[in-house]
Amino acid sequence: MVVRSSSDTPPGGPRRPPLSTASLMLRLGGIAVVVAAVAGAFAYVHGNLDPQRLTPKALVDVLEKNNGVHPGFRRNHGKGVCVIGHFESSGEARAFSTAQVFNEAQTPVVGRFALPSGNPYAPDSSVPIRSLALRFTQANGQQWRTGMNSMPVFPVGTPEAFYQLQQAQSPDPATGKPDPTKVPAFFAAHPEAVPFLTWIKTAKPSASYATETYNSVNAFYLVDGNGNKQAVRWSMAPVARDAAGATAPEGGDFLEKDLVQRLASGPLRFQLNITLANPEDPVNDASKNWPAERKVLNAGTLVLEKTQPQLSGECRDINYDPLVLPAGIQGSDDPLLAARSAGYADSYLRRTSEVSQLPAAKQEARP
């Protein structure tokens, strides 16, 4: 306890002579300067002095601006369905990574197929891309989370360019619609988008989630027991390509129905292919393809057994942050990875704050 001294002479010696007014002002000013310097440094680090800085908030705000706010839903890839299953390791990746997922026979998985749109009511035929996010939970408690897309490369290589691409698609305040000249102008100024644009020309909305190949797009490192790092990208490729290439029917909500139908007649299998980079391959640029002849490991099989609705299933509360990785897998210096991690965290806080506003929660609340 702090006890105030009650002796006549204050500890620390006799009272100092009073300060002159000038000296007092100078000293008060000195205190103000020190406090302001610390507060100013904090504001600088916090981005308050730099309105141009790209923040997680700005990234998620532009998605909300383009797609509307749908409380409780993911701000991107808002429409989807949970899938439950497991991963069976082939052992082929074991030499490259100490991650338990490659060493154990089976690892449980909670995944989510989705549409890359911030609108949870977007028609399934509105985008030619599908996504698959997975969470592998290892026996040791560590997790591997990955968010994959059916495109082989990302349109751009940096978060700043991604943000500008989103801005180009924002509704014009005057018309309420995006300016149709802005996206072509963006791509004209971004030659790095050519591999993506070349791919998207032939891409069609698929009739099924089950027929697509899902790519990590970003690069990662596998780390072996000696600490050696091998740069990789991975993909999940469907094992039975029964109706590959089938074009989607027009309209709304066929993907989830198709998935439920397929799973009624047995599990779906995907092969985890891990592509090993050569030293000259770009590890920090997701807009660039790697040459097709790179060595590919067949690391094992993803077995999906059942679906769950996204508003009540296990995937709902999972943030598929691509930098949640087990020992034995590391993120690369691809700048999109850190931006995805930061942006997803912001979206996750927004939507977990709104869980009670979800349509399913409202229905459940009804008597």
Partner 1 sequence: MSAQPTHFVLLARLLHWLMAVMIIAMLFIGAGMVTSVSERHEWLIHLHKPLGIAILALVIVRLLVRWSTRQPPLPADLPDWQALAAKASHWLLYGLMLVLPLLGWAMISASGEPVMLGTALQLPSIVPADAQLFALLRKAHGYLAYLLFLTVLVHLAAALFHGWIRRDEVLDSMLRGRDRS
Other C-beta atoms lying within 10 Å of the C-beta of residue 157: 21
DSSP 118: S
- Interface characters, 111-150, with partner 1 (x: CB under 8 A): -----------------------------xxxx-------
Q: Tell which residue, 204, 212, 307, has the closest CA to residue 261.
A: 307
Torsion from C-alpha of 107, 111, 113, 117, nearest 10 degrees: -130
Smaller CB distance to partner 1: residue 289 or 330? 330
Question: With CB under 8 A as the contact rule, which of the stretches 26-34, 166-174, 228-236, 246-254 interacts with partner 1?
Answer: 26-34
Note whether 39 binds partner 1 by CB under 8 A: yes
As a whole number of angstroms, the distance between CA 354 and CA 69 comes to 11
As a whole number of angstroms, the distance between CA 334 and CA 323 comes to 11
As a whole number of angstroms, the distance between CA 256 and CA 205 comes to 14
Smaller CB distance to partner 1: residue 159 or 205? 159
What residues numbered 49-78 form the site for partner 1, per CB under 8 A? 53-57, 59
Active site residue 77: yes
As a whole number of angstroms, the distance between CA 40 and CA 109 comes to 46
Smaller CB distance to partner 1: residue 57 or 294? 57
Q: Tell which residue, 92, 86, 89, 102, has the closest CA to residue 328.
A: 102
Residue with tokens 């504001």: 43
> Which listed residue (87, 130, 318, 320) binds partner 1 by CB under 8 A?
318
Count of residues engaged in binding partner 1, rule: CB under 8 A: 63
Smaller CB distance to partner 1: residue 35 or 239? 35
Note whether 42 binds partner 1 by CB under 8 A: yes
Q: Which residues of 66-91 are buried (b: 16+ CB within 10 A; e: fewer)?
A: bbeebebbbbbbbbbbbbbbbbbbee
Note whether 181 binds partner 1 by CB under 8 A: no
DSSP 275-342: EEPPTTS-SS-TTSPPPTTS-EEEEEEEEEEEEEETTTSTTTT----TT---TTEEE-S-HHHHHHHH
Closest contact distance (angstroms) between CB of 104 and partner 1 is 16
Closest contact distance (angstroms) between CB of 59 and partner 1 is 6
Note whether 331 binds partner 1 by CB under 8 A: yes
Closest contact distance (angstroms) between CB of 186 and partner 1 is 19
Catalytic residue of the set 46, 70, 77, 190: 77
Smaller CB distance to partner 1: residue 253 or 333? 333
Closest contact distance (angstroms) between CB of 62 and partner 1 is 12
Catalytic residues: 77
Residues that bind partner 1 (CB under 8 A): 1-7, 10-13, 15-16, 19, 24, 27-28, 30-31, 34-35, 38-39, 41-42, 45-47, 53-57, 59, 140-143, 159, 316-319, 321, 323-324, 327, 330-331, 333, 335, 337-339, 341-343, 348-349, 352-353, 355-356
